[in-house]
Structure 1
């Protein structure tokens, strides 16, 4: 007698559950792919588009300043002969690529003896070793200054050429990243700051590779690190301070480059 074979029955409910599982897995995979594409687009926007947009805008501003100065010589934008006395405070409002601090000083700016307006571009910074030519604007506001690809002057530090410390900050990555290669500077490198009437030449003298974002000593009139006291100065002088974030693509620490004024000459 032939032995009967029992054929298992597949329930419709089991088929529906499996179909639901497949749909859930497929939907999850689609979401992951979509999220990955969006992240890549965001990274491309930050690393490419913001750089291109900011660099082009900064270059146009440099050209506009040079055209303006060419037609209006004789007005000192920097107040280069002045000096400061009483203490004040300077805090980076951007939270990006800069260091807060306290410095002295009455500053002179555009229009002959008045302060530059907040976020106003009023000078041009040139660093031949880096092939850099970038506007200097008043203040370190992230949206109005740094994200435009400009270098920002710490409010209440001195102006170019003045006794004390002319201190600026710039992005190292994204938004034009003017200070991307600041770590390549070496002692003796030339840095020029051009204003409406005068070009000031500084030479790089000291480099602090890493310090805290709260190290306010680096932008004082006589700059000296509070967290790395072996770095800095003890005597008054005519100083330049350049600050940016380090390591790259982070804002954990600050890189600081100091220079000393060695020459000034009238524009034109």
Structure 2
């Protein structure tokens, strides 16, 4: 083999080696770029997961604490301004019918969103359960003060439908246990005028568009009311909004503020007064 051929062969070999090195560097660059993209995507997914987790913690934990404090302050404020004894009246002798206080006093409709006009006590939800009743069902009311009155409904004790709404899992979770009510459970409502005792009757699952549950006689269009209803509405299922759960109750009795609270909630009424 001549010198020229040898030199040409070496030159071709060096050229092939250079091309091979370029291909290797290009492949490494592509692999590095892909690896960087994968790492970046992974970091973004982790970050998104942390953000979602923090949002869930905020929604299910912090909003309950924040709204719970606001609601307790509202109950304490109401109790501080309430005029009347906080101890129940002496029990009637055995065999004596319950004292009749006449027709219930019904305060005029407020129609002032955000105004607290009473307190609800539901022993089925816990012996310490007491939540403010506020006018209005917008987020401004339900996200802070809890149980909001539909402004189209009557006031406590009125003939017709006293209807309220509340959250289940967030912002105080005021109706979280609505599905645990059983027929015969008592729902007590305290206003400046006195105490109204409602008895739970039944519940119903409906679509969000079924507004007839708020009629003066629930679900009965054009019916003239003769009874005093209370209707509780909330989302269903607990972590969804696809449906609404409706709890119906009928008023059993009432007593003026001067008569003291019903014995079943007297301890909680006194506790709220002491906090006020």
TM-score bracket, normalised by the shorter chain, equals 0.7 to 0.9
Superposition deviation, residue 258 in structure 1: 0.8
The alignment status of 1:199 with 2:189, answered yes or no, reads no
Equivalence for 2:120: 125
Q: Distance in 2 between matches of 1:225 and 1:116?
A: 24
Q: Deviations over 1:90-111 (max 9, x none)?
A: xxxxxxxxxxxxxxxxx714xx
More helix per residue: 2
Superposition deviation, residue 234 in structure 1: 8.2
1:154 to 141, 150, 157: 150
1:136 to 133, 136, 142: 133
SS in 1 for 2:155: coil
TM-score (norm 2): 0.74
TM-score (norm 1): 0.76
Equivalence for 2:215: 220
Equivalence for 2:252: 262
Q: Deviations over 1:230-255 (max 9, x none)?
A: xxx98621111111111111111111
1:189 to 176, 185, 188: 185
Query: Do the aligned partners of 1:108 and 1:116 also contact (CA within 8 Å) in 2?
Result: no
Superposition deviation, residue 224 in structure 1: 2.0
What count of residue pairs does the alignment treat as equivalent?
222
Query: Do the aligned partners of 2:200 and 2:249 also contact (CA within 8 Å) in 1?
Result: yes
Q: Distance in 1 between matches of 2:56 and 2:65?
A: 14
Q: Deviations over 1:130-186 (max 9, x none)?
A: 1221111111011x2100141010002100001111000101121111000100001
Superposition deviation, residue 70 in structure 1: 3.9
RMSD: 2.5
Superposition deviation, residue 215 in structure 1: 1.3
Equivalence for 1:62: 75
SS in 2 for 1:18: helix
SS in 1 for 2:57: helix
Q: Distance in 2 between matches of 1:149 and 1:65?
A: 12
Equivalence for 2:60: 47
Query: Do the aligned partners of 1:170 and 1:244 also contact (CA within 8 Å) in 2?
Result: yes
**Which consecutive residues of structure 2, in runs of 5 or more, have no partner in the other structure?**
1-15, 85-102, 261-276
